[in-house]
Amino acid sequence: MKLTLSRAMSSSTIIYTHTDEAPALATYAFLPIIRKFTDPAGLTVELSDISVAGRILCTFPENLSADQRVEDELTKLGKQCQAGTANIIKLPNVSASVPQLVEAIAELQGKGYNIPSYPMNPANAEEEEIQARYGKVLGSAVNPVLREGNSDRRVAGPVKKFAQDNPKRMGAWRDGAKTHVAHMESGDFFDTEQSAIMDGACSVKIEFTSADGETTTLKEGLALLDGEVIDASKMTTSALREFFAKEIADAKEQDILCSLHLKATMMKVSDPIMFGHCFEVYFADAFEKHQMPSSPSRQTPGLALVPCLMPLLLFQMASVRRLKLTSPPVTRRDLASPWWTPATALPTCTSHLTSSLMHPCQT
């Protein structure tokens, strides 16, 4: 939980954010306690709906009846933060992924809200606009808005002093430990980063130049202030895939776990693409055996095999967790072997997976 306080308190109102995650349970338990203290002091505690559902509904007010429309609470809170007049108790909120967004839309539609479905692959200008509007709901949309104010994330003084007086020491590092962190040496965002300071107010555009020299304008009319810093970097796909292949092979050779850490809800453009490249590299033999082409646009690499592979992998994980693994583990080599085909394996595994998921407490 985070408490955002303005330096100049111009009102006696505290805003308590309403979310649609586990903190919603805390709201019912903790909010009454807060009000027991604030009511005698003459302070008002108001709820502000910044849930995924609330943000979806305020995105398409023209599709809703008057009694269904909700105010854009997040934008209102952002303006208050910038003005320095906000006292906000901000609970953790959902950083919505596309599957979460799609499920939320379907649930709202089922309750009678006439909002459009999320177009995964826009086929016209109207669907592109719908996707762009929903894009403002995806990922960590809340924190950047509320942190435009003077949100103080520093630890309290007594807590900091206690930590300094009682430092936690790391245990002795065992000789021969194979655990390590691997990172790219070149061709990544760190290696290619460039920045510039504007010597005057101006407008810039962002262009992408392909290998064959074709230039595509990605964004234009980006206004910058005098003295403002603009920063850019890129990820080289070939270097990324070479890095993935090298580390996967190294983990296999050393017999250790290879773990990929990404935050796709915050870095919602780059990280899903990088995960797709890792997926393709890991299942390279399966892609080649089943002649599944990589995505030519590189926007969604690895998706061609996801419908075929994920039921198998999920079934394996569910079986392991229930300690009832009835067949040898499916490996990426198995998926590329002559006897395995998605058409024959998928129905059986999907049936077992459905059965496993019927008992979530056991899985």
How would you write the pLDDT of the chain (363 residues) with one tens digit per residue?
Answer: 444 433 334 457 888 787 766 667 777 778 888 889 988 888 888 888 888 888 999 999 999 999 999 899 888 888 888 877 778 887 777 778 888 889 899 999 999 999 999 998 888 999 999 999 998 888 777 877 777 655 556 677 888 889 889 888 777 777 788 888 899 999 999 999 999 999 999 999 988 888 899 999 988 898 999 999 999 888 899 999 999 999 999 999 999 988 888 876 667 678 878 888 888 888 888 777 766 655 544 445 555 555 555 555 555 555 444 444 444 445 555 555 444 444 433 333 333 333 333 333 332
Beta bridge partners of 217: 207
- Chain CA centroid to CA 55, Å: 16
Q: Which helix (H) or strand (E) holds 195?
A: strand 194-197
* Claim: this prediction has a pTM higher than 0.85: no
| pLDDT the model gives residue 175 | 78
| pLDDT the model gives residue 117 | 93
* Rounded Cα gap, residues 109 and 283, in angstroms: 37
Q: How far, in Å, are 46, 113, 339 from residue 142 at the CA level?
A: 18, 23, 49
Burial of 62 (0-12, 13-18, 19+ CB in 10 A): exposed
Longest dimension (CA), the chain: 75
| pLDDT the model gives residue 333 | 55
| pLDDT the model gives residue 300 | 54
Looking only at the bridges linking them, the beta strands covering 215-224 and 202-209 are antiparallel
Q: Which two tokens stand for residue 43?
A: 């302070």
| pLDDT the model gives residue 2 | 45
B/e letters for 141-172, b = 16+ CB within 10 Å, e = fewer, are: bbbebbeebebeeeeeeeeeeeeeeeeeeeee
Q: Which two tokens stand for residue 131?
A: 């996707």
